[in-house]
Amino acid sequence: MVKILHFSDTHISHRKFRNVKDSWKVHNRVTYIEDDFCLGFKQVLDIAAKSDYDYLIHSGDFFDIPVGRNFAGPTEYSRTFVLKALKEFFEKTKFKIPLIIIDGNHGTFLTRNYSTIEFLQAAFPDNIHIFTNYQLKDAIRHNKPLTLEFDEVKFYLFPYLKFGRLENWAKEYEKWLQNNQQPDSEKISIAVAHGMERGMDLHELVLNYKYDYVALGHDHKQRQIKKNAWQTGSTSRYTFAERSQTKAVLDIEIEKRKDLVVKSIKLDNVRSMKQIDITLNTELTTTAFERDIREKISEYKKSFDGDTAVRLKIKFDGAVLLSNWWGMEDILNEIQNDVFKDEFNILEFRWDAGEVIKRAPVSLQKGAKLYDYLIEDPVIDFEKYIRSLSLENEKQATQFIEIGAKIIEEAFTSPIESSLEEESE
Ligand SMILES: [Mn+2]
């Protein structure tokens, strides 16, 4: 029997600059939100040190940055915090428990073939085993396995890769998987993967092969995916969509040819995130709007305490006159100012009006009709547009249409909830 502690998506060094109270936890050193993510990680190591685990598994997004167009690496504060916490953990457990970490979509310099977890392995070369996006690409390129073997356990690693983005990537990935990543029938086999969308970043075979356990990451909500597969979830709340989620890690006992014994261990001291829902209507005056919001946040009117302060989002829907909305935005900015200046136990104050229908005032409605005919079916419209260019090269035209259609589809079908403000998991 082996006993593992499965955790994921620690997103260490996650920082917020906009719509957050300008307040340090330790002056000139660390802010509250950044420290939340360090403490989430520390809590897991404390749990891990208390029991007799054989392995610790982290299924990706160890560090939050770099990500996308944010090329900044983890802060010195977070890096130092992590090293100290790990050193303490390994000393307490006599350097006996291996920690396995794979790359997620956060924490790697995509154009640089470098991952921030490489520095962890360099610090603890005998105890930490990392598997990066780069190693995965290399394994696919050379048709070789990405595994890690111990006496009784074999790990199959699947760092993040959006293989479904292109058809030929998907084919190559599947071929590599079939050739190299099939579970061993003798040893306990554990797959570790960062991904949640089947066929896009999580391959069906990872769920269908007979691994004894599949340790998944990327989904911040803890949930069972299959009898032998779990998303363990993140260790701190990241987006407002996670506001009512309990954060937890998984304690798993694995024995060959026996059912898993799964225990979810709850993490405490997770900062609360609250959402206030407000439906707007075109009759609403700015005065009534202001009164309503000030009334709704009055329950947080008490002296600021960074350890318990709430992260707050106001979510609007309904419809509003555009001219009124401009006034409302001014009011929101004013309230935000007051919230951060006065006695409110609020750490973050933001709003999302992405789903509000903003009607042009009657005087402008004639002009607004311009938008009506713009795009009926974006994909078909785009093809018409490309055809209208009468390109000589048919192959090129087809390529344009295919790529364009994919981009448009992605843009028009992506969930509204993840607006620009909220970064993806
Ligand atoms: Mn992720």
**294 and 195, same domain (yes or no):** no
Instruction: Give the Å distance between the CA of 322 and the centre of ligand 1.
Output: 36
**308 and 293, same domain (yes or no):** yes
Instruction: Give the Å distance between the CA of 294 and the centre of ligand 1.
Output: 36
Residue 59 within a domain:
yes
**229 and 161, same domain (yes or no):** yes
Q: Which of these, 66, 75, 59, 57, lies nearest to 220 by C-alpha position?
A: 59
- Cβ contact 317:280 at 8 Å: yes
Instruction: Give the Å distance between the CA of 304 and the centre of ligand 1.
Output: 32
Residue 425 within a domain:
no
Q: What is the pLDDT of residues 232-289, one digit of tens each?
A: 999 999 999 999 999 999 999 999 989 999 999 999 988 999 999 999 999 999 999 9
Report the pLDDT value the prediction gives residue 364, as an integer from 0 to 100: 57
- Cβ contact 34:167 at 8 Å: no
Q: What is the pLDDT of residues 236-251, one digit of tens each?
A: 999 999 999 999 999 9
Instruction: Give the Å distance between the CA of 165 and the centre of ligand 1.
Output: 16
Instruction: Give the Å distance between the CA of 360 and the centre of ligand 1.
Output: 39
**96 and 38, same domain (yes or no):** yes
Instruction: Give the Å distance between the CA of 37 and the centre of ligand 1.
Output: 15
**185 and 312, same domain (yes or no):** no
- Residue 418 reports pLDDT greater than 50: no
Instruction: Give the Å distance between the CA of 8 and the centre of ligand 1.
Output: 9
Q: Which two tokens stand for residue 134?
A: 């780069």
pLDDT band at 201 (very low <50, low <70, confident <90, very high): very high
Can you give the three-state secondary structure of the chain, one letter per residue? Answer: CEEEEEECCCCECCCCCCCECCCEEECCCEEHHHHHHHHHHHHHHHHHHHCCCCEEEECCCCECCCECCECCCCCHHHHHHHHHHHHHHHHHCCCCCCEEEECCCCCEECCCCEECCHHHHHHCCCCEEEECHHHHHHHHHCCCCCEEECCCEEEEEECCCCHHHCHHHHHHHHHHHHHHCCCCCCCEEEEEEECCCECCCECHHHHHCCCCEEEEECCCCCEEEECCEEECCCCCCCCHHHCCCCCEEEEEEECCCCCCEEEEEECCCCCCEEEEEEEECCCCCHHHHHHHHHHHCHHHCCCCCCCCCEEEEEEEEEEEEHHHHHHHHHHHHHHHHHHHHCCCCEEEEEEECCCCEEECCHHHHHHHHHHCCCCCCHHHHHHHHHHHCCCCCHHHHHHHHHHHHHHHHHHHHCCCCCCCCCCCC
- Residue 367 reports pLDDT greater than 60: no
Instruction: Give the Å distance between the CA of 56 and the centre of ligand 1.
Output: 18
Q: Cα separation of 308 and 25, whole Å?
A: 12
Residue 162 within a domain:
yes
Instruction: Give the Å distance between the CA of 293 and the centre of ligand 1.
Output: 34
Q: Which of 227, 248, 266 is at the close of a domain?
A: 266
Q: Which of 234, 266, 298 is at the close of a domain?
A: 266
Instruction: Give the Å distance between the CA of 297 and the centre of ligand 1.
Output: 32
Instruction: Give the Å distance between the CA of 71 and the centre of ligand 1.
Output: 16
Residue 396 within a domain:
yes
**396 and 357, same domain (yes or no):** no
- Cβ contact 379:405 at 8 Å: yes
**20 and 123, same domain (yes or no):** yes
Instruction: Give the Å distance between the CA of 219 and the centre of ligand 1.
Output: 7
Residue 385 within a domain:
yes
The least confident of 74-88, 265-279, 394-408 is 394-408
What total number of domains does the chain contain? Answer: 3
Q: How many CB atoms lie within 10 A of CB 381?
A: 13
**164 and 312, same domain (yes or no):** no
Instruction: Give the Å distance between the CA of 196 and the centre of ligand 1.
Output: 9
**222 and 250, same domain (yes or no):** yes
**214 and 297, same domain (yes or no):** no
Residue 421 within a domain:
no
Instruction: Give the Å distance between the CA of 227 and the centre of ligand 1.
Output: 22
Instruction: Give the Å distance between the CA of 258 and the centre of ligand 1.
Output: 31
- Cβ contact 160:149 at 8 Å: no
Q: Which of these, 212, 189, 209, lies nearest to 258 by C-alpha position?
A: 212
Residue 424 within a domain:
no
Residue 72 within a domain:
yes
CATH number for position 220: 3.60.21.10
Q: Which long-range contacts (CB under 8 A, 24 or more apart) does 201-205 make?
A: 201/105, 201/160, 201/161, 201/162, 201/163, 201/164, 203/158, 203/163, 203/173, 203/174, 203/177, 205/174, 205/177, 205/178, 205/181
Mean pLDDT calculated for residue range 122-141:
97
Q: How far is CA 193 from the centre of its chain?
A: 14
Q: Cα separation of 340 and 381, whole Å?
A: 47
Q: Which two tokens stand for residue 130?
A: 């990392």
- Residue 69 reports pLDDT greater than 50: yes
Q: Which of 207, 231, 266 is at the close of a domain?
A: 266
**Full-model pTM:** 0.85
Q: Which domain holds residue 396?
A: 375-413
pLDDT band at 393 (very low <50, low <70, confident <90, very high): confident
**127 and 83, same domain (yes or no):** yes
Q: Which of these, 277, 415, 286, lies nearest to 353 by C-alpha position?
A: 277
**285 and 165, same domain (yes or no):** no
Instruction: Give the Å distance between the CA of 160 and the centre of ligand 1.
Output: 8
